[in-house]
Amino acid sequence: MKNVILRNIENPNSHRIEEYIKAGGYFAIEHAVNEMTPRDIIDDIKKSGLRGRGGAGFLTGTKWQFASLDPKFPKYIVCNADEGEPGTFKDRVILERNPHQLIEGMVIAAYALQSIRGYIYVRAEYPHVEKILNEAIKEAYDKGFLGNDIMSKHFRFNLSVHRGAGAYICGEETALINSLEGRRGEPRIKPPFPVNAGAWAKPTIVNNVETFANIPYIIETSPKAYSFLGTKDSPGTKLFCVSGAVNNPGVYELPLGTPLREIIYEHCGGIRGGRALKGVIPGGLSTSILTPDKIDCPMDFANLSKHGSMLGSGAIIVLDDTTCIVKIYERAMRFFEHESCGKCTPCREGTGWMRTILGRIEDGMADMEDLATLEDAALNVAGKTFCPLGEGAAHVLLSAMKHYRGEFEYHVKYKKCEVTDPSQRWGHLSMGELD
């Protein structure tokens, strides 16, 4: 299969502009600026059917069109590189190894929207990435792909890096914009949407790193060629980042619609130690867990929704039979509580309540009434929060309680974990024993 996003990845210097150009890079922007109108580009992106790779899966071309139809000036192009969804490390590969493909995608977006200014919002947890990006941006300036007269076409676009400061919620686009503006990263009410009133109240598109990295390929081939990859509803390839109890964890670029079984058992070499599969979190911690019987689910937007989960960021966390579900969700809830911005009550209070009760269950201090209270708390958070953070926290817990009810009840009844021998958990073995 052809690599779209990770092209040239075997080259150890793939992050350098010379190597990127040698591999056909920056051809798309030349083609775009010389032979296409901004409207042609937006039409092509729409025709390709590209959907956002950050989690929500919104149609990229439609987003761009909304922003381009707004007459306010200037417009801003923002790259969301605040990859914070637990289990996700796919954007990291692009940022480290293929930064020019991201920059090229952003410059094409800037040309399509006649934007003059862009920002890459990088999470603070990737200190080395900021350095790589700054170097790549400098190289692009030197070669004339960024600046005030790009390729002598009187097209100007300036780009810089904005470092976040450790807040998961800033991955939500309106919270990210607040953070870019120097404020607390709390989400804003929508509408107005960022395409009409985003950064500094101007039309702004916020796209994920991987989304931008798809753009050059669509422009240099054709929307049709792109839509041949993947499925009809979810075209293109996707970076799946697999972690947990598999033999070969890592980032895999595969067509959307690849069955989960193929990813785990062929590409990732199956479950470690030949153990049994217990469950899979398919798109990052905020997506509902899948039980082993759903392992043939094709990994795309539509099919995962049918199975009650989401494609999310494509972060696949594989759990084997040594994993305690209660412990996993107690930790997950600790995360949601910590990262709740505190703006709305159901999320701020609800995540704390749920974490406290989960802690009691995990520690063997709970009774059956606690299970009912926990469910009740989750149901009172779901559908009542300002942004998807609290919503996700409640939903993932409810689905875990539904599918692994017995394990929760065992914890309450016997005050201990059902997982037979916790000492056999991977972390408790030394590396030698693992092989």
> Which residues 358-387 are close enough to bind another protein by CB under 8 A?
none
- To another protein, the closest distance from the beta carbon of 227 in angstroms equals 30
Backbone angles phi, psi at 433, to 5 degrees: -70, -20
Among residues 16, 267, 307, 425, the one that binds another protein under rule CB under 8 A: 425
**Helix, strand or coil, per DSSP, at residue 77:** strand
Terminal-residue alpha carbon distance, the chain = 31
- Nearer to another protein (CB atom), residue 297 or residue 332: 332
Number of residues near another protein (by CB under 8 A): 79
Q: What is the DSSP letter of 267?
A: I
> Which residues 302-361 are close enough to bind another protein by CB under 8 A?
315, 317, 319, 323, 327-328, 331-332, 335, 338-339, 341
- Nearer to another protein (CB atom), residue 88 or residue 234: 88
- Nearer to another protein (CB atom), residue 217 or residue 240: 240
Among residues 88, 98, 115, 207, the one that binds another protein under rule CB under 8 A: 88
User: What are the DSSP calls for 49-66, one per residue?
Assistant: T-B-SSSS--BHHHHHHH
Structure-token pair, residue 404: 């692994």
Among residues 28, 137, 263, 325, the one that binds another protein under rule CB under 8 A: 137
Site string for another protein, 266-305 (x = CB under 8 A): ---------------x---x--------------------
Q: Are 145 and 138 in contact (CB under 8 A)?
A: no
- Nearer to another protein (CB atom), residue 159 or residue 218: 159
- Nearer to another protein (CB atom), residue 315 or residue 357: 315
The CA-atom distances, in angstroms, between 336 and each of 66, 274, 349, 352 are 32, 32, 11, 9
> Which residues 146-185 are close enough to bind another protein by CB under 8 A?
146-148, 156, 158-168, 179-185
CA-to-CA distance for 409 and 401, rounded, in angstroms?
A: 10
- To another protein, the closest distance from the beta carbon of 103 in angstroms equals 11
Among residues 12, 71, 191, 427, the one that binds another protein under rule CB under 8 A: 427
**Helix, strand or coil, per DSSP, at residue 320:** strand
Maximum distance among all Cα pairs of the chain, rounded to whole angstroms: 73
Q: Are 119 and 39 in contact (CB under 8 A)?
A: no
Q: Is 97 in the site for another protein (CB under 8 A)?
A: no
Q: Is 222 in the site for another protein (CB under 8 A)?
A: no
Q: Is 250 in the site for another protein (CB under 8 A)?
A: yes
Q: Is 100 in the site for another protein (CB under 8 A)?
A: no
Q: Are 98 and 14 in contact (CB under 8 A)?
A: yes
- Nearer to another protein (CB atom), residue 48 or residue 288: 288
Q: Which stretch binds another protein (CB under 8 A): 57-65, 242-250, 293-301, 406-414?
A: 242-250
CA-to-CA distance for 324 and 329, rounded, in angstroms?
A: 9
Burial 208-228 (b: 16+ CB within 10 A, else e): bbbbbbbbbbbbbbebeebbe
CA-to-CA distance for 10 and 19, rounded, in angstroms?
A: 11
Site string for another protein, 6-45 (x = CB under 8 A): ----------------------------------------
